[in-house]
Amino acid sequence: MMVPLAWYLLLGVALFVIGAAGVLLRRNILVVLMSLELMLNSVNINFIAFGRQSNDFRGQIFALFVIAITAAEVAVALGILVALVRNKPTLKVDDVTIMKG
Amino acid sequence: MDQGLFLLFAAVAVITALAVVVARNPVHSALALMACFLQVSAIFVLLAAPLLAVIQIFVYVGAIMVLFLFVIMMVDVREATLQRFLPGDNLPAMMLLALLAVEMIALILWSNGFSGTEPALATGRDQIRRLATTLFADYLLPFEAASVILLVALVGAIVLARKEPG
């Protein structure tokens, strides 16, 4: 029994919406970053599922690049977070308004 | 068989993803995220992508989660654990999320192109060889660019997190 493609896409939708909820609703910077990871991972599921569906390797290759860029993004984001907490000891997104954003 | 395994992994992945968002302590969020990534890598195995499953475990569970846990140890999270997670206090965001979910699910369920099952794929040892050949022949330039981006991120993270002299 093969798994239909739509199931994988629905799982991707569920994880993406949960990650978006974390980004939009949580006020903790660390949890916001983790939710971003979740969203990127759900996109990877879609890439690989579509690649399998059309019998093409390029889905896996793009997922590989997404993973590499995610690792770089997390390293830079956590470096910024450490520098930020050193200057202003807070983890709330709303308190970081130095740039008047 | 495959469908049962998929449902099991997907259910655990969604539950742990919800735990990431709902948990009050960031350490609990990080551990739930690790469990979720393990489930996703199992789903990659079901999708006949064992190389991506191994890379997922190495990079996400091995490297990124250790990075998160180290940063959680470095910064003080006690103040952050006191704030509540209150769904409903941010009505526009909730409406936006509901709209997003309904839109994507309707798109998947009404579209004809996603309904078929996957074709029988030539699996085996040859698959990773062909993947590597495609990666290093057709996608060599993006591969090198990704490695340069990783190097720049490494240097940038060190520079950003370094203590300023004076």
C-alpha distance from B53 to closest chain A C-alpha (Å): 10
User: For A25-48, how does the pLDDT look when each residue is reduced to its tens digit (9 = 90+)?
Assistant: 888 888 899 999 999 999 999 999
Same domain, B8 and B76: yes
Boundaries of domain holding B131: 125-166
The answer to whether A25 contacts B85, with C-beta atoms less than 8 Å apart, is yes
Q: Which residues contact B40 (CB under 8 A, 6 or more apart)?
A: A15, A41, A44, A45, B13, B56
Where residue B166 falls among pLDDT bands split at 50, 70, 90? low
- What is the interface pTM, i.e. ipTM, of the complex? 0.89
Distance CA B80, CA B40 (A): 28
Q: Report the domain count for chain B.
A: 2
For position B160, what pLDDT does the model report? 86
Name which residue leads in pLDDT, B1 or A62.
A62
| Interface with B, mutate which of A78, A80, A81, A88 (most B CBs under 10 A) | A78
Together in a domain, B68 and B5: yes
B21 with A35: CB under 8 angstroms?
yes
Query: Which residue in this structure is represented by tokens 């991972």?
Result: A41
**CATH number of the domain enclosing B71:** 1.20.120.1200
What is the spatial distance between Cα B33 and Cα B28, in angstroms, rounded to a whole number?
8
Q: What is the CA radius of gyration of chain A?
A: 17
Do B130 and B57 have their domain in common? Answer: no
CATH topology of domain A5-95: Helix Hairpins (1.10.287)
The β-bridge partners of A28 are A92
- Mean pLDDT score of chain A, rounded to an integer? 87
How many CB pairs below 8 Å do chains A and B form together?
233
Contacts of B109 in chain A (CB under 8 A): 6
The pLDDT, as a whole number, for residue B39 is 94
**Residue B121 pLDDT grade (very low, low, confident, very high; cuts 50, 70, 90):** low
* A20, amino acid identity: A
Tokens of A37: 């990871």
B80 and B1 co-located in one domain = yes
Same domain, B15 and B67: yes
Residues B76, B155, single domain; the answer is no
Q: Which residues pair with A4 in a beta bridge?
A: B117
DSSP per residue, A32-87: HHHHHHHHHHHHHHHHHHHHHHTT-THHHHHHHHHHHHHHHHHHHHHHHHHHHHHH
pLDDT at B75 over 60: yes
**B110 in a structural domain:** no
Tell me the β-bridge partners of A92: A28
pLDDT tens across A67-99, in order?
999 999 999 999 988 888 887 777 777 777 776
Q: Are residues B1 and B56 in the same domain?
A: yes
Domain co-membership, B4 together with B54: yes
Tell whether B72 and B6 lie within a shared domain. yes
Domain ranges of chain A: 5-95
φ/ψ of A31, rounded to 5, equals -70, -35
User: Closest residue of B to A15, CA-based?
Assistant: B14
